[in-house]
Structure 1
Amino acid sequence: MAPNKRKKNKNKKGRYGVAEIKTLGNDLLSSASNINNLPLLLNFVNPSSPPHHLLESLLSLHSFFLPLLPTLPSSSSRAADAKGFEHQSHFIYNAWLRSKFDELVKSFLEVLVSPRQQQEEQEAVKEVVLDTLMEFVKVANGGRFHSAIYHRFLHSIVHSESSVEFLVDLLTAKYFKYIDVCYFTLISLKKLATTLEGKDQSEDKSENADVADASQLSSSTERVIHNIYYTISRVPPFENSDNTSDLEMWSRSENEHKQPCGDVNADDKQVKPGKHDNSVLSAAKIAKKMKLKFTQAWLSFLRLPLPLDVYKEVLVNLHQVVIPHLSNPVMLCDFLTRSYDIGGVVSVMALSSLFILMTQYGLEYPNFYEKLYVLLVPSIFMAKHRARFFQLLDSCLKSPLLPAYLAASFAKKMSRLLLSIPPSGALVITALIHNILRRHPSINCLVHREDQVDEGKGDKATDEATAANSDDAKVSASQKLRIDHFNYGEPNPKKSNAMRLFYLMKLSLLEQEVLFGKLILFFSTTVLLSHGKFALSLENDLTVRAKTSEVNVGDFSSGSYATIIGAEMSRRVKQVPLAFYKSTPSTLFSDADFAGWTFDFKDTSEIMHGSDENADKDDQNSGKRQRVV
């Protein structure tokens, strides 16, 4: 029976054109005796209808239902029981109207989330349907915000199988400027995220899922999470205002500024209209409520097993978009510390938010520097967000209370990285080491120490740092050999032996590695010759703070081959050399590059002549041995 009935309705729809649909609407609005036109008009509100038929029917139904909505019962199933059998026909009629209105809302939602063939028609129809639906939300609850209809709308968006970007962008442009729309958007998104989280838990998923769980997500769940994130990230945070008249509401009385849409109780259900009619909230209380709903919605979303792309985007924007507007940002500590422990690029992205919680909100994270030390690997210099990471790294190492062994560990590990990173990374490392040495004078002995210094009488700071890096406070003479005690592969900076010194031709380990770094700068590209002078700043006495200044790491943190070459090509030079060398070089390296080394040049003919004589002697010896035998 159902297929035959569907065909019958389709045949009926085929007999009506735009003029006939307009006539049906006019007759419905002119007299109650034409109420049977209502089901006919409802048949044209569906995704398969032609756009002109759908819009014409929608206009008539909107004009019909809009004045009746305040008088309709809240539920069609309970309307007939409101006053027993008194005026039963009147209540049955209202219940029937309510059921038709519910069908109309359902059809609106189907049209909104269904893909249409032509993009222009799709956008035009969806915009009109959305405006009509929001008008119903505005007046369908006695002049107060109808949260139930709006929640059904957001539920359809979140669970839509087609793209929802156009709908969410429409909400952002036209309705998210109203405080009550944002208020109930956050409430609905919190419900949807909590429901999805409960569904995941019923499928034996952990409560605090992380990015590792995203590989086990189904395509439908992953799509829902993407839609939730796209919607919640477009909800603007509440801007504090001292005057409630500055707050715009989509549904409110003209001369009253109440709490958003009449407020909601603990179960997020609509409060009766008359309960708060005389209670006017101040701007401070409204801001408090909005922050609370904003916090609850984001925390519910962050408990979900986020896909990797969403996870990264959240971490990138969290410190700017979310943390400043939470009622208690420290509540994100579990999410951020779990993200920071993952390692790799995820830890780099979580560092910004975690740093803000530590410096501005008093969060204590005991293993913060150990995790930060592990992140210093060559791949970090090719990461997308390396500029922000290096600036945060410089800020984290800025405190003068940082232990000497920790500052030395970071300086030595970064100097070792000079051997395996691109030239742009060598520049930012040199800037970071410069700042560390200037802030922490106790580790300047790593840069240069004369041979005449008595190795058995180190300064107090060195002895204390050595004691922190070694189990034995006294270092025996056998341990003071000219070898590198620094353990590059040790993940714990306290055990890396960074303060254990060795001396070799008046150059310490840090100087040698900076020297190798300069050689890398020299051989990578010829335009980097001017940047080689920057490495010479480490030879200055950085303990004299009055004569030195810190380097802005941000000037070098986002550098690359393209930026360096572009800066060199745009630099104006007074004299352009016609040849790279003014005179033909006789050696590959100059004596200044390797202090204490000499590179003697021997004539090739002498070497070849000497080798021939040695060969003749070998032949004679071999002949003598043969005669003896």
Structure 2
Amino acid sequence: MGSTSASEKKKKKKDKEMKQQKPNKEEKKKRQTTLKEVRALGEQLLTSRSHINNLPILVGYVSPDSPPEFVVESLLSLHSFFAPLLPDLPPSSSKSPSLSHAGVDDPNLIYRTWLRSKFDDFVRSLLLLILSPQPQLPLRVHSSEPVDMLFDFLASKYFSYINVRYFTYISLEKLASTLNARNLSDAGGTNDEKPSKTSVERPIRNIHNIISRIPPQDDVKEDSDKELWSGSGSPLEGDESEELSGAQKAKDKHLKPGKQENNVSSVANFTKKMKLKFTKAWLSFLRLPLPVDVYKEVLVSLHQSVIPYLSNPAVLSDFLTRSYDIGGVVSVMALSSLFILMTRHGLEYPDFYEKLYALLLPSIFIAKHRAKFFQLLDSCLKSPLLPAYLAAAFAKKLSRLALVVPPSGSLVIVALIHNLLRRHPSINCLVHREDDYDTEESNSEAKRANPENDSDTLSDKSTKKRGLDHFDNEESNPMKSHALRSSLWEIDTLRHHYCPPVSRFVLSLENDLTVRAKTTEINIEDFSSGSYATIFGEEIRRRVKQVPLAFYKSTPKSLFSSTDFAGWTFQQVESKEGDVANCTINVPEGNDKGAAKRQRTDCN
């Protein structure tokens, strides 16, 4: 018995090995023949209605278990078949009553309803194929259509349903986590093993395009927010499949009369968990290596579209502080969100004002997002607890920038300094200070900022070097800038600015801003987005009482008249061809600067 069973096992094993070795050619031939048959099934379906029974056969090939070439061939045929028919198909079979119970005898309606059911089966097969844990490379078919069209379609038709948004957040979180893990694992490999930059950026951009198009909870219409998408369900695994099955049950009950209470409870369940899924999806996305343009777009909209809907906005502290430390335009964009975390969510950032001080550069006055930056700058300097040296440093830094920025920037600077002087009376000593005058207050502040220096030494330096501005414009630390020992002499130069609105606006600083009852703060928003165009527009709308006139009895023939330069005569010497060859300037005798007659070539 034992020997017989052993021999039978050996025989079966040998037959199995022979079967595995033999079918290579036969299986290859079978697969080639079957592929031709699949292609023939598709051609017959597209050419004649009599071959409509090929439709369920082709739908059956759209499966993770089918060979990839069969799936691709079936997809091409089914797409060509369903694309022109979709507008005429009835609603989803899950929404339509059974035709047999309805007593419908119209064969055309029955046929179209049957086509709709096969289309729903096709969609379910596609979802199973997409969510397959082992996708095969030949199935990654790229469309020639722009992908933005698909994103717009999702946003306009499906993102109004609460369950679609809910499960989209779950899918985006998984996708972003997978990309992040793959990026970390590829970071240690060789250059040949690392994926190209384009292949990594494309899925990141797609995630951003989807997650940024999902409307926040408050932006969804009230009626839409109570609806669940009752289309075909998606096969998910684990706990999410249970949630989906519960949602599907709620949707089915919603279709039946008298069962609306279950739908309301299901929507409430989704709404309760939405913030958590929203937070996880965004955090997973922000951990990815974002391209520069995507990074900037995220920072611009983060304070409005993301922070108000997070379960705990403080989780963005690390991301925003890293962004703020980068400097330049990125820091300006991160300032809005960081300011919200500091003022509303208790974030402590000790180096905030030092980083803000470093952002005051001439380039900021022509930046795209300068309007929001100046408004936030004014808000950050509003606290009455701001130290005097810090308020003086910002006032002095801004006044120095007024010498090099466009006229619109000078207007903003005057408005900011006006508010600083009004809020912090301790820095009004900067408004007027003689060259050899140092107040006791400024010396004490300077001594606290520089404890290694003696106040007497500082006072001696100020008295010995008349006309010296102690402010260090190159110092990045406002505490060490010696701003309290300086004055706002730069603002005085704006009295003679070539742009009339600037010279007029400077006069607002002549008021006694320490008397708060007689003055009001200036709204920075009125000046923050100014430009040459806005200044010109305001000037041409301004009514002028007195207009300077230039009247000449005869048309002038030269730029300057002879009376403008007493004792000087100007003569033109023409060449033989009639062109002006040079100019002769007759200088009166006794002039110490040169000979009585000089010649300049190329006068014209």
TM-score of the superposition, structure 2-length normalised?
0.69
Are residues 551 and 423 of structure 1, via their aligned partners in 2, closer, same or farther at CA, if it must alter by over 3 Å? same
Are residues 201 and 409 of structure 1, via their aligned partners in 2, closer, same or farther at CA, if it must alter by over 3 Å? same
Deviation string 1:566-610 (CA, Å, 9 cap, x unpaired) is 2222334455543399xxxxxxxxxxxxxxxxxxx9966699644
Deviation string 1:489-539 (CA, Å, 9 cap, x unpaired) is 0000011111114xxxxxxx31x21133344x31xxxxx314421012112
Residue equivalent to 1:24: 51
Cα shift at 1:271: 4.6
Residue equivalent to 2:520: 549
Cα shift at 1:372: 0.3
2:266 matches 1:295: no
SS of match in other structure, 1:546? helix
Residue equivalent to 2:456: 475
Are residues 390 and 575 of structure 1, via their aligned partners in 2, closer, same or farther at CA, if it must alter by over 3 Å? same
The CA RMSD measured in Å over matched residues stands at 4.7
Deviates more, 1:188-197 or 1:6-15: 6-15
2:337 matches 1:353: yes
Q: Are the counterparts in 2 of residues 438 and 543 from structure 1 also a CA contact under 8 Å?
A: yes
Task: Write out aligned runs for 1:89-100 (5 A).
Answer: none
Distance 2:296 2:170 in 1: 25
Residue equivalent to 1:592: none
Q: Are the counterparts in 1 of residues 296 and 333 from structure 2 also a CA contact under 8 Å?
A: yes
Letter in 2 for 1:484: D
Distance 2:352 2:35 in 1: 66
Distance 1:284 1:38 in 2: 37
Cα shift at 1:133: 6.0
Letter in 1 for 2:242: Q
Letter in 2 for 1:474: S
2:300 matches 1:319: no
Residue equivalent to 2:472: 487
Cα shift at 1:284: 6.5
Where do 5+ consecutive residues of structure 1 fail to align? Answer: 30-34, 68-127, 141-145, 207-214, 254-260, 502-508, 523-527, 582-600, 617-629
Distance 1:579 1:496 in 2: 49
Cα shift at 1:421: 1.1
Deviation string 1:183-224 (CA, Å, 9 cap, x unpaired) is 000000000000000000101279xxxxxxxx9961011011
Are residues 55 and 529 of structure 1, via their aligned partners in 2, closer, same or farther at CA, if it must alter by over 3 Å? closer
Selected match of 1:235 from 214, 220, 236: 214
Task: Write out aligned runs for 1:492-503 (5 A).
Answer: 492-501=477-486
Cα shift at 1:478: 2.0
Distance 1:251 1:334 in 2: 40
Selected match of 1:340 from 324, 338, 344: 324
Distance 2:527 2:448 in 1: 33
Letter in 2 for 1:486: F
Larger Rg, first or second structure (1 or 2): 2
Q: Are the counterparts in 1 of residues 92 and 120 from structure 2 also a CA contact under 8 Å?
A: no
Residue equivalent to 2:184: 201
Residue equivalent to 1:55: 83
Are residues 468 and 380 of structure 1, via their aligned partners in 2, closer, same or farther at CA, if it must alter by over 3 Å? same
2:406 matches 1:425: no
Q: Are the counterparts in 2 of residues 158 and 224 from structure 1 also a CA contact under 8 Å?
A: no
2:206 matches 1:223: no
Letter in 1 for 2:346: G
Selected match of 2:242 from 265, 270, 279: 270
2:178 matches 1:178: no
Residue equivalent to 1:250: 229
Task: Write out aligned runs for 1:1-20 (5 A).
Answer: 1=29, 6-7=35-36, 9-11=38-40, 13-17=42-46, 20=48
Are residues 490 and 220 of structure 1, via their aligned partners in 2, closer, same or farther at CA, if it must alter by over 3 Å? same
Distance 1:487 1:430 in 2: 20
TM-score of the superposition, structure 1-length normalised?
0.66
Give the number of aligned pairs.
Answer: 488
Q: Are the counterparts in 2 of residues 151 and 188 from structure 1 also a CA contact under 8 Å?
A: no
Distance 1:236 1:152 in 2: 28
2:446 matches 1:466: yes
Distance 1:419 1:557 in 2: 18
Residue equivalent to 2:556: none
SS of match in other structure, 1:312? helix
Letter in 1 for 2:405: I
Distance 2:87 2:521 in 1: 68
Are residues 487 and 162 of structure 1, via their aligned partners in 2, closer, same or farther at CA, if it must alter by over 3 Å? farther
SS of match in other structure, 2:456? coil
Letter in 2 for 1:373: Y
Cα shift at 1:161: 8.2
Deviation string 1:535-556 (CA, Å, 9 cap, x unpaired) is 1211221111111111111111
Q: Are the counterparts in 2 of residues 405 and 468 from structure 1 also a CA contact under 8 Å?
A: no
Task: Write out aligned runs for 1:384-423 (5 A).
Answer: 384-423=368-407
Distance 1:161 1:571 in 2: 56
Q: Are the counterparts in 2 of residues 190 and 296 from structure 1 also a CA contact under 8 Å?
A: yes
Distance 1:575 1:333 in 2: 57
Residue equivalent to 1:380: 364
Distance 2:534 2:548 in 1: 23
Residue equivalent to 1:514: 491
Residue equivalent to 2:509: 538
Q: Are the counterparts in 2 of residues 262 and 270 from structure 1 also a CA contact under 8 Å?
A: no
Task: Write out aligned runs for 1:544-623 (5 A).
Answer: 544-574=515-545, 576-579=547-550, 609-612=589-592
Q: Are the counterparts in 2 of residues 45 and 57 from structure 1 also a CA contact under 8 Å?
A: no
Task: Write out aligned runs for 1:27-176 (5 A).
Answer: 48-49=76-77, 53-55=81-83, 163-176=146-159
Cα shift at 1:136: 5.3
Residue equivalent to 2:560: none
Distance 1:378 1:485 in 2: 21
Letter in 2 for 1:316: V
Distance 2:542 2:141 in 1: 53
Are residues 161 and 230 of structure 1, via their aligned partners in 2, closer, same or farther at CA, if it must alter by over 3 Å? farther
Distance 1:615 1:302 in 2: 76
Identity %: 51
Are residues 55 and 417 of structure 1, via their aligned partners in 2, closer, same or farther at CA, if it must alter by over 3 Å? closer
